[in-house]
Amino acid sequence: MALASLGRDPPPFFRQGPSALSRLVVFSALALLVMVADARFQMMQPVRSVIASVLYPVQWLAMQPLALTQAAHTRAASLMADESTWGQLQQKLSAQSLRANQVDQLQLENKRLRELLALQQRLEQTAVAAQVLYDAADPYSRKVVVDKGLVQGLRLGAPVLDELGVLGQVTRIFPLVSEVTLITDRDHATPVVNARTGARGVAYGETSSHADAMELRYMAANADVAVGDLLTTSGVDGVYPAGLPVARIEKIERRTDAVFARIYCVPLALVSGAAHVLVLDRVASTELARPAPEVAPKPTKTGGRR
Q: Which domains does the chain have, with CATH numbers?
A: 127-280 (2.40.10.350)
250 has a pLDDT exceeding 50 = yes
Mean pLDDT of 112-140: 76
The confidence score (pLDDT) of residue 212 equals 81
pLDDT band at 165 (very low <50, low <70, confident <90, very high): confident
Please tell me whether residue 98 adopts helix, strand or coil conformation: helix
Please tell me whether residue 54 adopts helix, strand or coil conformation: helix
The confidence score (pLDDT) of residue 206 equals 83
52 has a pLDDT exceeding 60 = yes
Pick the more confident residue, 145 or 41: 145
The confidence score (pLDDT) of residue 8 equals 59
Q: What DSSP element (H or E) covers 9? A: none
Q: CA 246, CA 212: separation in Å to the nearest integer?
A: 13
Q: Which of 75-89, 236-250, 290-304 has the lowest mean pLDDT?
A: 290-304
Pick the more confident residue, 50 or 298: 50
Contact 279, 154 (CB under 8 A): yes
183 has a pLDDT exceeding 70 = yes
Pick the more confident residue, 296 or 219: 219
User: Could you write out the three-class secondary structure of 138-185?
Assistant: CCCCCEEEECCCHHHCCCCCCEEECCCCEEEEEEEECCCCEEEEECCC
CA distances, 12 to each of 4, 9, 16, 30, 77 (Å): 18, 9, 9, 29, 72
The confidence score (pLDDT) of residue 112 equals 67
Q: CA 244, CA 113: separation in Å to the nearest integer?
A: 18
The confidence score (pLDDT) of residue 240 equals 87
Mean pLDDT of 40-58: 81
57 has a pLDDT exceeding 80 = yes
pLDDT band at 289 (very low <50, low <70, confident <90, very high): very low
The confidence score (pLDDT) of residue 111 equals 67
Flag whether the pTM goes above 0.85.
Answer: no
- In degrees to the nearest 10, what's the CA dihedral of 149, 155, 156, 159? -100
Q: Which of 63-72, 132-141, 240-249 has the lowest mean pLDDT?
A: 132-141
pLDDT band at 124 (very low <50, low <70, confident <90, very high): low
Sign of CA dihedral 159, 168, 197, 224: negative
The confidence score (pLDDT) of residue 296 equals 53
Q: CA 164, CA 245: separation in Å to the nearest integer?
A: 7
pLDDT tens-place string over residues 2-25 = 555 555 565 555 556 677 788 888
